[in-house]
Amino acid sequence: MNRRDLLKSLATVPVLGAVLYGWHKKKQAVELMKKAMHSEISLSAYNPVIEKEVATGKKLRIGIIGAGSRGSALLKGAGFVPPETIDSWKEDAVKDKNNTRYEEYLEQEDLNVELVAVCDIFESYAERAMKAGANIFREGSNGKMGNTPKRYRTYQELLADDNIDAVIIGTPDHWHGTITIAAAKAGKHVYCEKPMTWTVPETYEVVKAVQENNVVFQLGHQNRQNESYFKAKEAIEKGIIGKVNLIEVTTNRNSPGGAWVYDIHPDANEQTIDWEQFIGPAPKHKFSLERFFRWRCWWDYSTGLSGDLFTHDYDAMNQILGLGIPNSAVSSGGVYHYKDGRTVPDVLQSVFEYPEKDLSLVYSASLASNKHRGRTIMAHDGYMDVGGELKVFADKGSTKYKQQIEDGLINPEIPIYSYVPGQEHVDAITSPTEKYFAQRGLLYSYHKGKRLSTTHLHMKDWIDAIRTGRKATCNENRGFEEAITAHMGTIAYREQRKVFWDADKQKIV
């Protein structure tokens, strides 16, 4: 072979060098950027979510009071699902192999608890919960069953039974406080759905009863277990976005179900529903299926948007920022879309002031528009969108990031930090594709990580707390802050005035 042929053979090899050089340069630049960002905003890869407290020893005996739709979801979180539901999950899995509900449920940890007691004032719900309680092998209709839980007609009878250690309360709002107080006085641990109370006076009594009787109380804000909230809290504590001055949280729903117009059960009538017990502490009213199934629409039983939906957002922010009770609240809104006889508003705006913290918390809700607005924490150096995933952006006008923005190391349009639960690594820099998917919530958290229900984790947190004698994550003190804040928003709306919290007297004025 001559020199000329050799040259021809190798003519294009130098191009290879150019590509490799380019790649190397690019890698260096990314590394440099990562370093620059990491020194500012690195967060730990540690996720404190799942404690390894193994549910061993004696089975905890629990009862449920109020086993409607939310009550059923709580039972599922505790490991009790009616066989019929399992059957339909199995069918779904056959029809669509992407449907992994049954598989996921089978993987849900056994909390070593026993459902021994059921109290519901609607026959069908009580029967369903009893079947769920017996279905301990999670097999479905043809499977083996365990003992059927005992049915109680009233919550007082259930609470009087010494063979029950703890109760789950899934009743309408107007019963939360009353039953929690009675349960605590009977020495039962309590998992109660949000909001903690229906009236202001009950709020103090719940805390007193829980603490005096030394029971473990968990309020049903399952988002306490949301991994991205842990990251958000860490990011706030590290001062990544600087000093927070405004928090905006929203409800955006647009469907009858979202506006609490639930289906009326075909078997429901005056014979199958104990109406008098339903009313309880509420004003007397003649039997009404609408009121029984759609109770959230009336102040007589409900706490409205403030108690029902804002509390989730408030609790999230309280978890992330340790807000506590605001100094004042104003609210306005009305029944603007669902003119179905409801008394609670379907559009509501509330503003809460925290002058000691130099920040405002704004809640804006519509039950008749789906425009997604999310939850945003705003500060001088940046802002963060907190949802299933967490995105942190630098602010264009930031003082802290001024230099990095000028140097092109930080682009205010792109998150300086994004966290998707289930992802293996915590990293400041992700590929454009990943960023895009993360922004649209399309990165499935079960990819290479197991998708776990937060309700289950919250239930587990409560049960672990009972077993180890610690406080639950969303205990009565957090519940007190939640309930008082929600009540302030509601009172401001209903009385059309600015409401204040007197921190010295611990009173709403």
Partner 1 sequence: MENKTKTQLFWLVTLRVAIGWHFLYEGLAKLSNPKWTSFGYLMDSKGLFEGMFHSMAENENILNIVDFLNIWGLIAIGLSLIIGFLSRPAIVGGITLLAFYYLSHPAFISLEYTLPTTGSYFIVDKTIIELIALVVLFVFPTSKEIGIDKLILKKSNTDEQANS
Which spans of this chain sit near partner 1 (rule: CB under 8 A)? 1, 5-6, 8-13, 15-16, 19-20, 22-23, 26-27, 30, 97-98, 423-425, 427, 430-431, 433-434, 436-437, 440, 442-444, 447-448
* Strand-pair partners of 376: 248, 385
C-beta of 287 vs 436, nearer to partner 1: 436
Taking the complex as a whole, how short is the minimal distance between the CB of residue 385 and partner 1, in angstroms?
A: 19
Taking the complex as a whole, how short is the minimal distance between the CB of residue 27 and partner 1, in angstroms?
A: 6
C-beta of 34 vs 494, nearer to partner 1: 34
Phi-psi region of 280 (alpha: psi -120 to 50; beta: other; left: phi over 0): left
89 C-beta neighbours (distance < 10 Å), count: 20
Cβ–Cβ < 8 Å for 275, 390: no
- Nearest Cα residue to 118 out of 108, 131, 105, 109: 131
C-beta of 31 vs 91, nearer to partner 1: 31
Taking the complex as a whole, how short is the minimal distance between the CB of residue 231 and partner 1, in angstroms?
A: 17
Taking the complex as a whole, how short is the minimal distance between the CB of residue 34 and partner 1, in angstroms?
A: 12
| Distant-in-sequence, close-in-space partners of 3: CB < 8 Å, separation ≥ 6 | none
- Nearest Cα residue to 397 out of 416, 377, 383: 383
Taking the complex as a whole, how short is the minimal distance between the CB of residue 508 and partner 1, in angstroms?
A: 47
* Strand-pair partners of 378: 246, 383
Taking the complex as a whole, how short is the minimal distance between the CB of residue 99 and partner 1, in angstroms?
A: 12
Taking the complex as a whole, how short is the minimal distance between the CB of residue 212 and partner 1, in angstroms?
A: 51
**How far is 40 from 417, CA to CA, in rounded Å?**
11
C-beta of 155 vs 419, nearer to partner 1: 419
Taking the complex as a whole, how short is the minimal distance between the CB of residue 448 and partner 1, in angstroms?
A: 7
C-beta of 447 vs 498, nearer to partner 1: 447
C-beta of 20 vs 54, nearer to partner 1: 20
Q: What is the DSSP string of 420-453?
A: -TT-S---S---HHHHHHHHTT-S-TTTTS----
C-beta of 58 vs 97, nearer to partner 1: 97
C-beta of 405 vs 426, nearer to partner 1: 426
C-beta of 275 vs 437, nearer to partner 1: 437
Taking the complex as a whole, how short is the minimal distance between the CB of residue 439 and partner 1, in angstroms?
A: 10
Taking the complex as a whole, how short is the minimal distance between the CB of residue 418 and partner 1, in angstroms?
A: 12
Residue matched to tokens 């029971």: 215
C-beta of 1 vs 509, nearer to partner 1: 1
Sheet architecture: strand order including 376-379: 417-419, 390-394, 382-386, 376-379, 244-252, 359-366, 347-354, 328-334, 499-502, 507-508
| Distant-in-sequence, close-in-space partners of 328: CB < 8 Å, separation ≥ 6 | 352, 353, 488, 498, 499, 500, 501
Taking the complex as a whole, how short is the minimal distance between the CB of residue 436 and partner 1, in angstroms?
A: 7
Taking the complex as a whole, how short is the minimal distance between the CB of residue 20 and partner 1, in angstroms?
A: 8
**How far is 145 from 136, CA to CA, in rounded Å?**
6
Backbone CA torsion sign across 447, 448, 452, 458 = negative
Residue matched to tokens 């958290």: 445
**How far is 288 from 231, CA to CA, in rounded Å?**
46
Radius of gyration of the chain (CA): 26
C-beta of 371 vs 440, nearer to partner 1: 440
* DSSP 3-state of 186: coil
Backbone CA torsion sign across 213, 215, 219, 220 = negative
Backbone CA torsion sign across 418, 423, 428, 430 = negative
C-beta of 319 vs 430, nearer to partner 1: 430
**How far is 410 from 415, CA to CA, in rounded Å?**
9
**How far is 397 from 336, CA to CA, in rounded Å?**
38
